[in-house]
Structure 1
Amino acid sequence: MKIAFLADPLSTFKTYKDSTYAMMVEADKRGHEVYAFQQKDMAVEQGVVSAKVARITMTGDSQDWYRAAEPAETNLGEFDAILQRKDPPFDMEYVYSTYLLELAEKQGAKVFNKPSAIRDHNEKVAITQFSEFTSPTLVTGDEARIRAFQKQHGDIILKPLDGMGGTGIFRVKADGMNLGAIIETLTGNGQYTIMVQRFIPAIEKGDKRILVIGGKPVPFSLARIPQNGEVRGNLAAGGLGVAQPLTERDFEIANALGPILAARGLLLVGLDVIGDFLTEVNVTSPTCFQEITQQAGFPVAATFIDALEAAVTAAAK
Structure 2
Amino acid sequence: MKIAFITDPLSTFKIYKDSTFVMMREAARRGHQLFAFEPQDMALVNGVVKARACSINLTGNSDVWYEEGEKIDLALQEFDAVLQRKDPPFDMEYIYATYLLDLAEKAGVKVFNKPSAIRDHNEKLSIAQFTQFTTPTLVTRDAKRIREFFAEHQDIILKPLDGMGGAGIFRIGADGMNLGSVIETLTSNGAHTIMVQKYIPAIVHGDKRILLIGGKVVPFALARIPQNGEVRGNLAAGGVGVAQELSARDREIAESLAPTLYQRGLLLVGLDVIGDCLTEVNVTSPTCFQEIMQQKGFDVAAMFIDALEHAVSA
- What TM-score, normalized by structure 2, do the two folds share? 0.99
Corresponding letter in the other structure for 2:300 = V
Q: Counterpart of 1:177?
A: 177
List alignment gaps of at least 5 residues for structure 2: none
d(CA) in 1 for partners of 2:109 and 2:62?
A: 30
d(CA) in 1 for partners of 2:147 and 2:8?
A: 39
Q: Secondary structure of 1:100's partner?
A: helix
CA deviations 1:226-248 (Å, max 9, x no partner) are: 00000000000000000000000
Corresponding letter in the other structure for 1:284 = T
Q: Counterpart of 1:48?
A: 48
Q: Counterpart of 1:113?
A: 113
Q: Counterpart of 1:228?
A: 228
- What TM-score, normalized by structure 1, do the two folds share? 0.98
d(CA) in 1 for partners of 2:288 and 2:91?
A: 23
Q: Counterpart of 1:189?
A: 189
Structure 1 residue 174 displacement after superposition: 1.4
CA deviations 1:104-125 (Å, max 9, x no partner) are: 0111110000000001100000
Q: Counterpart of 1:14?
A: 14
d(CA) in 2 for partners of 1:144 and 1:9?
A: 42
Corresponding letter in the other structure for 1:164 = M
Corresponding letter in the other structure for 1:73 = D
d(CA) in 1 for partners of 2:246 and 2:209?
A: 10
Q: Counterpart of 1:293?
A: 293
Q: Counterpart of 1:257?
A: 257
CA deviations 1:79-111 (Å, max 9, x no partner) are: 100000000111111000000001001111100
Contact residue 24 and residue 34 of structure 1 kept, 8 A: yes
Q: How many residues align?
A: 314
Contact residue 15 and residue 63 of structure 1 kept, 8 A: no
d(CA) in 2 for partners of 1:85 and 1:219?
A: 23
Structure 1 residue 63 displacement after superposition: 2.1
List alignment gaps of at least 5 residues for structure 1: none
Contact residue 158 and residue 195 of structure 1 kept, 8 A: yes
Q: Counterpart of 2:136?
A: 136
Q: Secondary structure of 2:127's partner?
A: helix
Q: Counterpart of 1:246?
A: 246
d(CA) in 2 for partners of 1:172 and 1:58?
A: 47
Structure 1 residue 13 displacement after superposition: 0.4
d(CA) in 1 for partners of 2:238 and 2:252?
A: 29
d(CA) in 2 for partners of 1:107 and 1:311?
A: 17
Corresponding letter in the other structure for 2:158 = L
Structure 1 residue 74 displacement after superposition: 0.2
Q: Secondary structure of 2:305's partner?
A: helix
Q: Secondary structure of 1:73's partner?
A: strand
Q: Counterpart of 1:4?
A: 4
Structure 1 residue 188 displacement after superposition: 0.7
Q: Counterpart of 1:281?
A: 281
Corresponding letter in the other structure for 2:176 = G
Q: Secondary structure of 2:182's partner?
A: helix
d(CA) in 2 for partners of 1:172 and 1:107?
A: 49
Q: Secondary structure of 1:176's partner?
A: coil
